[in-house]
Structure 1
Amino acid sequence: MVIRVGEVIAVSGVRITLRIFEDSNQETLFHEGKKYRGVSIREHLLIQRGFIDIVCLVEGEYLDERKLDETAEKTSYIRKVDVRPVGYVADNKFYEGVKYMPMIRDGASLLSEEMVGKIYGVNDGGSFTIGAILKENIPISLPWTRLFNSHLGIFGNTGSGKSNTLAKLYTTLFREKLAGLKGKSQFVIIDFNGEYTGGQILATQDKKVTVLDSKNGAQKFTLESAHFWDAETLSLLFQATTNTQAPFLRRVLSGREKFKDLPLSHFLEKTFERVFAAAEPKAEALELTREVARIIGSEALQHHLAGVKYHAQNKYFRALEGHYYDSDGKAFAAFLKPFLAAHVKLDALDQFDELLLRCYLQLCGDVVMGYAQYEHIQPVLARARSSLAGLRNVLHIVDAPPPPYLLHVISLKKCKNGVKKILPMLIAKNFYVNHKEAEGLNSPPTKTLHLIIDEAHNILSEQSTREHEIWKDYRLELFEEIIKEGRKYGVYLTLSSQRPADISPTIVSQIHNFFIHRLVNERDLMLLDNTISTLDASSKSLIPTLAKGCCVLTGTAFDLPMILKIDPLLEGHRPASDDVNLEALWANHSLFHAMTHGLAWPKR
């Protein structure tokens, strides 16, 4: 039996007008042990069209006055509501979409909360619950298989609860599916503010936390050497010009690959021989060898080269000891070659110093042979020294990667802004390329990679002016490739941001499912309106006024947009982003001030 509350009096396109009966204004009704909610904004109604029940959402209501007759002074008011069809029920199962439309005088009845749960919930008996529908307060089991098989966007102003939503979503995933995830999936959180470095989301041995610090370098991110010794990456890091400096870096890397079986000391010796036994010695080459001596840390070599003088008129080098380095090479073979063998040790060089050393040795050879002009290449070497100095404390270069963890949290809270711009690109490329190469031939993929970027506007903004344009474009292109092509390799992005309008529109347009908390900026709202096809007008109108912890869920995983109240995580499991308790903070300060200054504490 249904509780009939009105009838259809107008149908115009998908806009339906109902006349509501006078005795149907109760807020809540109970019938045969079931709870029904009355007719109000964003409530659901059923319209019976033969054997099909059309589910409609109430979007507006108003009163229409009507006089009983022309001479009567008494006026009656008819309550009318505007509804929009969102689906239909057939065989006790809900189907989303407009397939049937009602006719005039079709009856409208209330929808039980049990049926509302079937509309928004999953009918597979799942328990993936992170909150309840705001108005009905019905816990909803989310379709987790479709949710984590897609790109996610979690947006909201600061303090709106987006960090809690992100943590609650993945906390629930690990709680419900931990056994099945091991060995099959990897989750990487790029954490700009250090909110997930404690016991949040996962607190087992399957979680690894790496806190990067630009100053002390206590912990470092392990990067594969193949991704470090990459011409494209190095050209971007060092902002190399396309015509001269980028080809120079490619020569450095090709030489390393070509002579990988020879020790680096052999390259150094041959380069010094080319410099000090040249037919036309170059003063720039002498200066470069002095820089090489500083890089390898040989004080004896530095002292010797400091005493070498270049005589431009006679075209030779004269050492402090009195011998000459000229084109016959005798002085080099007799003195400098054994000197290098005795005083130069390259075993302790890390890969940062090796890269810098190879760059200077390559430039030495190029200058002597006339392949490059010193003044054209020297600026990129200066930028290389600066960039590598910042990366040395946060990266550890290895030939083979360590075994992956189920959850890897990488905190950038203690990193400088320049490093924060570089690292996410290197980290994402490292994980993406490795996963892509491993799963390239598998269709469908046998494993998945989930990249979670908190405060994503920091690295995915098109408006950033603090970095080189080419560098910014490459980083955006990398993440655009991940979000466009990653699905076929089992790579999925989760982006959390306060300002979705600052993120590249190309990236936002590829997101499948959204958790939208309170947003008030018009640019953010316009972006969502232009990007999300599944966001209806009534849900969009609520976004600027959503309470803390409430969000609009919409996307390909959901039949209908819904307003969900996310359950807050318990103390110790919440992200480190709680508001300051000023009452407790200032109260303690006042007590301390009174005690230290001998003041009498006011009586209560």
Structure 2
Amino acid sequence: MDKDIGRIVEVRGINVKAKLFRLLPPYLINNGIVVSAPKINSFVKTKVGLDTIICQVNGEYNVEKEDKATDYYIDLTVKGYIDHGKFIQGLRMLPIVSSNLSLLNNDDYAIIYDFDKDHSFFIGKDLFEINKDIYLNFNNLMPTHIGIFGNTGSGKSNTLANIYSHYIKELNGYVSSNAKVLLFDLNNEYGKNSICNKQHKVIYNLTTRKQSSKRIPFSFENITEDEMSILLNASIKTQIPTIKHAFKSLKEEHEEEYYLKYVKNTIRNNQKDLFFAIRFRLNEYIKKINNINWHSNALNFYYSKDDGTRIFNNSSDFDSIVLNNIQINLPAEPLDRFKFELCFSIIRECEHGVNFEFLLPLLTRAEKIFNDLKKVFDFEDNSDIFENKNLAIIQLGNVNNDMTMIVPSLISSVIFRRQLEKKQGEEIKTIINIVLDEAHNILYKEDDLAVHNNLLEKFEKIVKEGRKFGVFLTVSSQRPSDISSTILSQLHNYFIHKLVNPNDLNQIRKAVAFLDENALNFLTILAPGECILSGTSLSMPIFIQIEELDNETKPNSNNVVLFGRDGIIK
């Protein structure tokens, strides 16, 4: 039987006042079970006929006469009602004056926090209801876009790891899984056994200081012409056509004689700058040209023989002795082959009157970007990035700024295209969760950098359209105000830890439609590990103390201990 604690004395729309029968102690005994007395943000219920209305406590006060408390009241807000065993958020009905107010029982909580234990996981405890465990349903949470926000040290990394630790454990229980998780780790916090044992995940610890020990398998064919144009920051009128011709030539698979013709014409036409640029960048693929030099006075190429004599470009035997002996060795590595094609595409454009100085920046940019790309990608390996595992972690803590933007952009773009191709009007058969930790570092609002704007555009497309194709985004950040408002507003579920910055609070206020002002006021005083969960996975927002993972499973994001037994100063 439910425990009655008071009665309704006033109803003004959704705002309700109730008078308690007596002053309640902090804890009550209900059917032999210890439960919390009504307190701020906890729930109570009242009946209208056979219907049950759920209200949330907003405040409490008493009335005193002659310095003695005589009456005790609580202010309530109507949240919804229970209809045929299901909680519905809304205002189909309101409480009636003089109806009794009761505590919720376990069945009521099970209805409000609807979950199927066969497909749910324990996330933590209700902050305001003692002994109330909170479970989240995988089917309601994982196929959604998720945001995890909070100041540094508030517990957001533990929350992210907690969610995906349970999810990967669930996936590993199936022989074959059609669900994968790809985590971009910007601070290298999710290595070793974080989230799950390292034997159940694949880790790519990338660096641009040298070639990474384990590079990401990635087919060059996955890079489109448009993406290459953005990588090389190509101008629309002159440089992009050159890149498109390089792609076209790559598909045509020309023989060596095709390229020899362009090299010979460059020398015959005395295109000094173009020739030396090609020789510098393609020296290992074009042989017998190192002894060809430029005579500044004669304004002509010449060839230096071993005996010291010179054969000038305009001499009759220059072709037979010099040009006809040049050799072309086509590169095998895909990125080198494209650079090779790009150089000859530039030669072709220059023959058609384009100024070489307009195209030279392409080669300079390509030299740097391609060098970094080969340190983190293996373009000759077409194997699966997940290696038949359910979790892949790409650590970006040791790569430069270009690769921090480019790696997530290229991989996420390929994932989205493949998911789109797989669906083809059919039902979704596979899903992929893309996780961005410290997302404010790459999903900040638009700037003048083409590579970043391209990255942002792709993730905005995923958050707007990914649900239809089984691609879902999880972002974790300590600065929600820095993240693109398009992404922030399209998330389905929000885990919001402590936030104190006014800009962050205002951004959450605008983006999270499920939160009322009363809940938002608590964000500045939440303790580490405490958060508000609001979104489509639950019927209403709830305050949770997130379960803390063990030291081996949690990410490497703990605060440094300065003094003491475990301190760094002995």
Alignment TM-score, normalising by the size of structure 1: 0.87
Deviations 1:334-387 (A, max 9, x none): 23354223xx5345x5333323222222222322x2331111111222122222
Q: Which residue of 1 aligns with 2:18?
A: 18
Could you say if the C-alpha distance between residues 287 and 461 of structure 1 is closer, same or farther in structure 2, counting changes exceeding 3 Å? same
Aligned residues: 562
Letter in 1 for 2:206: L
Distance of 1:11 and 1:154 partners within structure 2: 36
Q: Encode CA deviations 1:585-604: one digit per residue, 9 max, x unaligned.
A: 786744xxxxxxxxxxxxxx
Whichever residue aligns with residue 188 of structure 1, its letter is: L
* Equivalent in the alignment of 2:264: 273
**Pairing 1:164-563 to 2, within 5 Å after superposition:** 164-180=158-174, 182-203=176-197, 205-217=199-211, 218-228=213-223, 230-257=224-251, 259-260=252-253, 262-263=254-255, 265-278=256-269, 281-294=270-283, 296=285, 298=287, 300-302=288-290, 304-305=291-292, 307-309=293-295, 317-321=301-305, 322-326=310-314, 331-332=318-319, 334-341=320-327, 344-347=328-331, 350-367=333-350, 369-398=351-380, 400-402=382-384, 404-405=386-387, 406-437=390-421, 439-462=422-445, 468-563=448-543
**Offset of 1:399 from its aligned partner?**
6.7
Matched, 1:97 2:90: yes
Aligned-residue offset at 1:171: 0.9
In the aligned structure 1, how far is the partner of 2:122 from the partner of 2:112?
15
SS at match of 1:392: helix
Residue ranges of structure 1 left out of the alignment (5+ in a row): 67-72, 591-604
The CA distance in 1 between the partners of 2:482 and 2:569, in whole Å, is 39
**Is 2:551 the partner of 1:571?**
yes
Partner of 1:45: 44
* Pair 1:430–1:91, CA change in 2 (3 A): closer
Residue type at the aligned position of 2:162: K
- Which stretch shifts more, 541-550 or 57-66? 57-66
2:2 is paired with a residue whose SS is coil
Contact 2:250 2:338 in 1 (8 A): no
Matches within 5 A, 1:78-97: 78-91=71-84, 93-97=86-90
Match of 1:363, SS?
Answer: helix
Matched residue, 1:31: 30
Alignment deviations for residues 38-94 of structure 1 (CA, whole Å, 9 cap, x no partner): 23212221112122221111101223456xxxxxx7876422211011122345553
In 1, Cα distance between the equivalents of 2:94 and 2:480?
37
Secondary structure of 2:81's match? strand
Cα distance in 2 for residues equivalent to 1:123 and 1:224: 41
Q: Deviations over 1:407-464 (max 9, x none)?
A: 1111111112332122221222232223322x2414321111111111111110016x
CA–CA distance in structure 2, aligned partners of residues 220 and 190 of structure 1:
14
Q: Secondary structure in 2 aligned to 1:202?
A: coil
Structure 2 unpaired stretches of 5+: none
- What is the CA distance between 1:124 and its match in structure 2? 5.4
Structure 1 residues 488 and 31: CA distance shift in structure 2, 3 A: closer
User: How far has the Cα of 1:142 moved from its partner?
Assistant: 0.7
1:192-248: CA deviation from partner (whole Å, max 9, x where unpaired) = 1111111122226441111101112122122221133x2211221121112211222
Percent sequence identity over aligned pairs: 27
Question: Where does residue 56 of structure 1 map in the other structure?
Answer: 55
- Residues 454, 495 of structure 1: 8 Å contact kept: yes
Query: What amino acid is the match of 1:511?
Result: L
CA distance change for structure 1 residues 424 and 585 in 2, over 3 Å: closer, same or farther?
farther
Q: Which of 182-191 and 447-456 deviates more?
A: 182-191
- Give the CA deviation at 1:157: 0.9
Deviations 1:147-192 (A, max 9, x none): 0111111111111111111111111112234233834122111111
Code of the residue aligned with 1:429 in structure 2: it is: S
Contact 2:217/2:385, CA 8 A, preserved across alignment: no
C-alpha spacing 1:584/1:338, structure 2 compared with 1 (3 Å): farther
Contact kept, 8 Å, 2:405 with 2:455, in 1: the verdict is no
Q: Output the CA distance in 1 between the equivalents of 2:214 and 2:386.
A: 17
Deviation at 1:29, TM superposition (A): 1.7
Deviations along 1:541-562, whole A, 9 cap, x unmatched?
1111111111111101110111
Question: For residues 487 and 125 of structure 1, what CA distance do their matches in structure 2 show?
Answer: 24
> Are 1:155 and 2:149 an aligned pair?
yes
Q: What is the DSSP-based 3-state SS (H/G/I as helix, E as strand, rest coil) of the residue aligned with 1:511?
A: coil
Give 2:266's aligned amino acid. Answer: V
Give the conservation status (yes or no) of the 8 Å contact 1:293–1:301.
no
Structure 1 distance, partners of 2:282, 2:35, is 83
Aligned-partner SS, 1:398: coil
| Equivalent residues of 1:288, 1:364 under 8 A apart | no
User: 1: CA distance between counterparts of 2:561 and 2:526?
Assistant: 22
How large is the Cα RMSD of the aligned pairs? 2.6
More deviation in 11-20 or 112-121?
112-121
CA distance in 2, matches of 1:453, 1:524: 18
Determine helix, strand or coil for the equivalent of 1:240.
coil
Q: Partners in 2 of 1:391 and 1:140 — Cα distance?
A: 44
Instruction: Find the aligned partners of 2:445 and 2:196 in 1 and give their Cα distance.
Output: 33
In structure 1, distance between residues paired with 2:539 and 2:315: 81
| Contact 1:154-1:497 within 8 A present in 2 as well | yes
Q: Is the 8 A contact 1:35 1:112 kept in 2?
A: no
Structure with greater Cα Rg: 1
Partner-residue secondary structure (3-state), 1:270: helix
Letter in 1 for 2:454: Y
